[in-house]
Amino acid sequence: MSTDPNSQNIDYRSTFNVARVHNALAREQPERVAESRPVSLWITLGAIAVTALAFTFYGAQRGTGSGDSLNYNKFGSSYQPRPPEALVPETGGAGVSLYALGEKVYKGKGCVACHQPNGQGTPGVYPPLAGSEWVLGSTERLAALVAYGLMGPLTVKGQQYGAAIMPAHAPPILTPKEFAAVLTYIRQGWGNAGSEVSVEEASAYLNRTKGRSAMYTEAELKTIPDDQMLGGAAAAPAADAAPATTPPAPGASN
């Protein structure tokens, strides 16, 4: 027990000096308690602001480096994408025969997959084009079935077909020039001796029939006379009569 009244070692049981006891208690440190408090709102907002500024600055400094706005064109700002060229250019190509262009179309736009490179088709499924009466007869009828497609039973060179359909090839699948070229090619390829189908005839036909969506059937095709040629109703008899008398080849093939 201490006798010095100023001693720090206070025996509370024996000390009645209230001031001393309170002073001693007041010197005690508050007990430390573990607690989790949310991060200050200001620190949170500050961090977001700094991040946003950083990205803005980063974005502004990237790009072409010359102060232009951000340019994602990795080929350079003068690069302009070009659509793929038409298989057969609508203009130019002078000196190249429709037949040669038509061969490109036949092989490049899918006919060959079904009718085969030799024009013989696949027995029972895809009819032959070589020697076919549908190819060598009326060009109006031929244009109709190639442009708008064909379905249902069909007789070609005495054989029955109809298990598959002939898809439509009107624009935009073929351009008018490609259309004329491929019709010319199948009328003159593999020993066929049909006349050419001109670009003018093909364009006129496609314009005249534009908007049709129904596929042809054999019955509807047969309503087109076998001697009806493209080139307009008035021009047809004259155009038809002239080749029929001059070259014997088209007549022989029919």
Does residue 195 touch ligand HEC according to CB under 6 A? no
Taking CB under 6 A as the binding criterion, the range among 21-29, 92-100, 123-131, 223-231 that sits at the site for ligand HEC is 123-131
To the nearest whole angstrom, how small is the minimum distance from the Cβ of residue 131 to ligand HEC? 9
Q: Which is nearer to ligand HEC, 154 or 229 (CB)?
A: 154
If binding is defined by CB under 6 A, does position 151 make contact with ligand HEC?
yes
CB half-sphere exposure, 90, CA atoms < 13 A: 9
Contact call for residues 196 and 98 (beta carbons, < 8 A): yes
- Is-contact 101 193, C-beta < 8 A? no
Binding of residue 101 to ligand HEC (CB under 6 A): no
In the region spanning residues 159 to 178, those forming contacts with ligand HEC, defined by CB under 6 A, are 161-162, 164-167, 169
Question: Which one of 6-14, 68-76, 85-93, 147-155 is the stretch in contact with ligand HEC (CB under 6 A)?
Answer: 147-155
CA–CA separation, 184 vs 103, rounded Å? Answer: 9
Residue 145 in the binding site for ligand HEC (CB under 6 A)? yes
- Cα distances (Å, whole numbers) of residue 48 to 34, 45, 53, 155: 28, 5, 9, 76
- Please, what is the minimum distance in Å from the beta carbon of residue 216 to ligand HEC? 8
First-to-last C-alpha distance (Å) of the chain:
140
* C-alpha closest to that of 99 among 110, 88, 90, 109: 88
Q: Which is nearer to ligand HEC, 21 or 113 (CB)?
A: 113
Does position 127 bind ligand HEC by CB under 6 A? Answer: yes
In the complex with ligand HEC, which residue's Cβ is closer, 44 or 159? Answer: 159
Q: Furthest-apart CA pair in the chain: how many Å?
A: 152
Nearest to 203 by CA among 97, 112, 90: 90
Binding footprint of ligand HEC on the chain (CB under 6 A): 109-111, 113-115, 126-129, 132, 134-135, 142, 145-146, 150-152, 154, 156, 161-162, 164-167, 169, 182, 186
